[in-house]
Amino acid sequence: MPKRRKPRASSPANTDSEVRKQPGATELRAAGWFASPLLPALLAVLCSLNSIWDDFALDDSQQILNNQLIKNLTNIPFAFTNSVWSFATNDIVFAADYYYRPLFNVLLSINYAIFGTHPWGWHLVNVLIHTSATVLVFKVLVELTGQGWVSAASACLFAVHPAHVESVAWISGVTDPFLALLALPGFYFYLRYRRTGRKRYLAFTLVAYFLALLCKETALAFPLIVIYSELIHFSEQANLKQRWRQAAVLAIAFLLATVVYFLVRHSAIGRVGPDSRYPLGPALMTIPLAVAKYLKLMVLPLAYSYQHLTYFVEGVADVRFLAPAALLVALVICILLTKSKLLLFSVMWFFAWLAPALAALRQFDPEYLVQERYLYLPSIGFCLSAGLGIQWLATRRFFSMREEKLAAAVLALIVAIWGVACVAQNRVWNNTTSVFRNCVAVEPFSGRAHYAISQNYFLTGNTRAAEASARKAIELDPQFSGGYLNLSYFSKQNGRLDQAVDYLEQAKTTIQPSPLTRTGLATIHLNLGLLYAERKDLVRAEKNLVRSVELWPRPVGAYNLGMFYLGHEQYGAARDALEQAARQVPPRYAPIRAALGAVYEHLGDTNRACAEYSKYLELALPGAPDRANVQKRFSASCGDKSEK
């Protein structure tokens, strides 16, 4: 007879029974209907269903409506060789995009094949994904805690939390719920592996982790949760040496999967991580403030918005650093004093999944340092904490009401409040205009909110409101470049080129140079250089374009400088600038190859020109607008060589 496999560890259900151990405390028992994922799933649907009537908003126009590649399923392989934005557009502004999420692009392609441009279908998919994620939250927590009531209550809270609206009601925001569909089964399989010792569960965990990475790079937080669980949460099940040995084995397995992911990522987009827009010091000092804001969004169902203006903290003596840091220290001390492993695990889960967003603060402008969609997976930890808190409150002896009734009443009250806020917030995401109007309503003194809505007003034909909002942005925040750029753009579009130049010259003299304004000033100089080139003032054009690259050596600056030189027959300078841009964009970015081919052709380097044209034709995505022209130039200059 085959030997029966011996479990490698006792059931996690027996590893955290603090509630039962405390004097006067009992574990709440879940009724049959409540001990299933049915109620959390129903709540998820009810609180998200009205989002189905929303339209497309924000990035949806680029990633869905104007993305030619998702309109044919045969293009799905390109999703694995391009970044999110280069998959959607050839614009050089997005060429250095570091978001490598091929499974997200695959989802877009499948959705388009089914629903086309009907937004209700896309929103329905988001609702179903969120509902499925809610069911998985319940299943994972049952496996982790062994406590049916706490698991069901936590899943109910997760289902209705209004901080999830951005991820569910916004079609392009689905990346986090989609990630949850892969990360949560991965953790469930890990827990099953610990319970049974069966290696196939570990294999399932690693596969789920790798797929999660292909969905969104924040899956890198997943191994942290597993290693923490192995070393600390399940510490009673093995001695220290055994725990470290098992943690090392798991760490190596995750490391191998991560290395494979980064090799695939680098092959596709030519980079491991993003370039930094802002200094490291202020970003680090802003972390406590950002965490405090995230916790506020979890606790108070108020002031939800696409933007949460958070200026970088520039000194440790700043109250915006000291106050949130002190709050977080006090919170951690209180949690440690409870000696609850489950509570400590919930906190670890929250911060581990939030860590990638905090580590990336240097990449975001102040209005986007705090973003609600980044709370989707971390919120599971918060909801578990809330569920444990409700159970603790209900099992105190100084309440005369029966424990189950008191817990149900408290849970129902929170679910009702959050659910109403969730349904109301869904309407904010009706379209781009409603999203930015809400930004202004929530933060009326944010110049960046007025800047964003001014762009939207102009695109929808409301020129007068667009200009008024742009001026308001400058009035509220004269050190922010956005208002000047908008007014300049509006003037140029209306044929007032001199006025467009004047607005940017005003910005140059008003905005004080600093590490935090560097990128904004670089954008001002870039646009000013292009305007002077249009006015045939070539000296000032070159001066501003060069200055833009000096301030911020990014691909778009070098590319525009190179194209300026190419257009004015300075082929040596054009080559240098375009080669600089080529080193900064993904290796599969085709348009830069066409420009370099033209430069080398003019320089008389036929071999190099043919190589660049050939590379373009190899890499150019189907339907690329320049493909026919490049093919013609290649045939004319390299026909004989290609035949040989």
| Listed range (80-89, 127-136, 445-454) with the worst mean pLDDT | 80-89
Q: How far is CA 611 from the centre of its chain?
A: 37
Q: How far is CA 131 from the centre of its chain?
A: 20
Q: For the segment 489-503, what is each residue's pLDDT rounded down to a tens digit?
A: 999 988 899 999 999
Query: b vs e for 402-428, b when ≥16 Cβ sit within 10 Å of the residue's Cβ?
Result: ebbebbbebbeebbeebbebbbebbeb
* Alpha helices by DSSP H, 197-312: 199-215, 222-228, 240-269, 280-299
pLDDT (mean) for 613-629:
77
pLDDT (mean) for 302-307:
93
Report helix, strand and coil shares of the chain as percent, to nearest 5: 75, 0, 25
Q: For the segment 357-413, what is each residue's pLDDT rounded down to a tens digit?
A: 999 898 899 999 999 999 999 999 999 999 999 888 877 755 556 777 787 888 889
Q: Would you tell me how many other CB atoms lie within 10 Å of the CB of residue 243?
A: 16
The answer to whether residue 475 scores a pLDDT higher than 80 is yes
Q: For the segment 246-285, what is each residue's pLDDT rounded down to a tens digit?
A: 889 999 999 999 999 999 888 887 766 667 788 899 999 9
Structure tokens that stand for 368 in this block: 């986007």
pLDDT of residue 615: 85
Distances (CA, A) of 345 to 180, 228, 341: 18, 8, 6
Structure tokens that stand for 175 in this block: 């990346």
Q: What is the DSSP letter of 620?
A: P
Confidence label for 639 from pLDDT (cuts 50, 70 and 90): low
With CA atoms as reference, report the closest residue to 147 among 532, 155, 207, 617: 155
pLDDT (mean) for 42-57:
94
The whole-angstrom separation of Cα 590 and Cα 618 is 8
The whole-angstrom separation of Cα 44 and Cα 38 is 10
Query: Do the two domains 444-552 and 577-644 of this chain adopt the same fold?
Result: yes
Yes or no: say if 144 and 12 are a contact pair by the CB < 8 Å rule.
yes
Q: For the segment 56-87, what is each residue's pLDDT rounded down to a tens digit?
A: 999 898 889 888 888 889 888 888 888 887 77
Confidence label for 31 from pLDDT (cuts 50, 70 and 90): low
Residue ranges covered by each domain of the chain: 30-428, 444-552, 577-644
For the domain bounded by 577-644, which CATH number is listed? 1.25.40.10
Structure tokens that stand for 17 in this block: 């029974």
Residue with token string 């109301």: 424
Q: For the segment 572-595, what is each residue's pLDDT rounded down to a tens digit?
A: 999 999 999 888 887 778 888 888
With CA atoms as reference, report the closest residue to 163 among 291, 353, 305: 305
Q: For the segment 546-574, what is each residue's pLDDT rounded down to a tens digit?
A: 999 999 988 889 999 999 998 888 989 99
Structure tokens that stand for 489 in this block: 């753009």
Q: Quickly name the fold that domain 444-552 has.
A: 1.25.40
